[in-house]
Amino acid sequence: MTTIQVIKCTWALELCRRYEGRGETQTAYIELDLSEGTLLADYDSQIDGSAPSAVRTGFERRYRIPVLTAVAVNRLLAKLAPLADRILADWEKSWNGETHVAVLGADAKSAEKGMDVVLEAGFDAPDIVGEWDADDVTNGSEADEYDIVAGTTDERLTEIAAEITEGMIGSSDHTVGVIHELDAYLRRVRAEADAE
């Protein structure tokens, strides 16, 4: 019997991806790759919602999840691994008249339902990455509050962004968070100070 290889997340915000110009964060999912024998979490890199061929044919099985912290997703992967092992042990490649597809056996189908039950149980706020937009958390007085001037270094802007983000996390139920477009906002504040 083959044992599933669990690929852990290594960075707190690994599943949190928002492409420039997009107003929404990419969806996240757990993926069980039957051909490779791997179980991992990732974000959807497609902006049009399309699925790769391996997903459409069932060789890569995806289960949607919220944007979880690395700690939470690694805990989830460990919980799902025994069920994934059962799925991995009970499937076959079959020709459907047009293409090869993955077909699950009875125990694999039961295990997949078990995965659905685990995922449908939901997640608590500390497990989910807190997300805010810079426009919602800034007040226009950051130049004065943080003494941002034309000569403020990139390093200092990074420190300021971290302070603001930590403040938002501290006032929420989240343990990890991100403020989208905050770095760009602080650079604009510096540029405006340079123009004065």
Decide if 38 contacts 4 (C-beta within 8 A).
yes
Q: What mean pLDDT comes out for the span 100-124?
A: 96
Alpha helices in 26-181 (DSSP H): 53-56, 70-88, 106-120, 134-137, 142-145, 154-170
Give the predicted TM-score (pTM) of the model: 0.88
Decide if 129 contacts 41 (C-beta within 8 A).
no
Decide the pairing of beta strands 38-43 and 5-6.
parallel
| DSSP letters spanning 116-132 | HHHHHT---GGGBPEEE
The model's pLDDT over 3-40, given as tens digits with 9 standing for 90+, comes to: 899 999 999 999 999 987 778 899 999 999 999 999 99
CB under 8 Å to 45, separation ≥6 — which residues?
17, 26
The model's pLDDT over 56-99, given as tens digits with 9 standing for 90+, comes to: 999 999 999 999 999 999 999 999 999 999 999 999 999 999 99
Buried residues in 34-46 as b, exposed as e (16+ CB within 10 A): bebebbbbbbbee
The model's pLDDT over 168-194, given as tens digits with 9 standing for 90+, comes to: 999 999 999 999 999 999 999 999 987
